[in-house]
Amino acid sequence: MLRHVPHTRACVQAAIDTVKSARSFGPGTSLVEKHYRIAGNPAGLNRIEEMYSLMLKVLDRPDFYCTLDTTDEGEGISTVAFARLGGFFLADAAGKIKFRRGAWVASGIEDFAAFVFIHEMRHFVEGSSDIGHHAKGWVTDESMLRLRPDQTVFNCDTFAGFALEARNGEMQRPGWVKGTAFR
């Protein structure tokens, strides 16, 4: 997974640049609106940008913030990965992003790896008690389209999908999104 830190970083940086651009040129046709639907709300844009900026700090020290689930504590949580809510703000080993055996599949597909990474980092850098599982899947999925703006700005998969499209341009729904079960 750490092999994909550069690609994940490029996605997160593209997300920040896209939010900055939406701030300058207005919501209009922005990719921000497709994913977050906040109608250019400045507080919403600030929150989104802040979250991605914190993710860059995680990606600055991936060896420190990420590890493997060597104790199998995540067996009942996810086969792929899990992260402590707000773990970034805890001291040392109290909070880490933990990858599990299912991450092996994601590690072979760079966009899949980035998606998992960004989903987990949203948990990890969250300062509120919002877990971020309002809906899972791709931006065009019904459950994702039903999210209110006050949910999109907390939703892990929204952060992941937006960053991928910010980097790659608008994408067909990736096959690996379906049936993905990570927390």
* Residue 21, CA distances (Å) to 14, 17, 103, 156 in order: 10, 6, 33, 22
Q: Are 48 and 151 in contact (CB under 8 A)?
A: no
d(CA 104, CA 98): 13
Which residues make beta-bridge pairs with 144? none
- The backbone torsions φ and ψ at residue 68, rounded to the nearest 5 degrees and listed phi first, read -100, 155
Q: Are 121 and 160 in contact (CB under 8 A)?
A: no
CB of 82 to Zn ion, least distance (A): 7
| Element of type H or E holding 60 | helix 42-60
- Pick the closer one to Zn ion by CB: 44 or 132: 132
CB of 95 to Zn ion, least distance (A): 14
- 100 sits near Zn ion (criterion: CB under 5 A): no
- Pick the closer one to Zn ion by CB: 110 or 130: 130
CB of 47 to Zn ion, least distance (A): 18
- Pick the closer one to Zn ion by CB: 27 or 135: 135
- Pick the closer one to Zn ion by CB: 17 or 141: 141
Closest residue to Zn ion in the complex (CB): 183
118 three-state secondary structure: helix
Site string for Zn ion, 101-140 (x = CB under 5 A): ----------------------------------------
d(CA 3, CA 1): 5
Site string for Zn ion, 140-169 (x = CB under 5 A): ----------------x-------------
Token readout for 92 is 């040392």
d(CA 180, CA 113): 12
- 98 sits near Zn ion (criterion: CB under 5 A): no
Determine the interface stretch with Zn ion among 38-46, 85-93, 137-145, 175-183 (rule: CB under 5 A): 175-183
Which residues in this chain contact Zn ion in the complex, by CB under 5 A?
156, 183
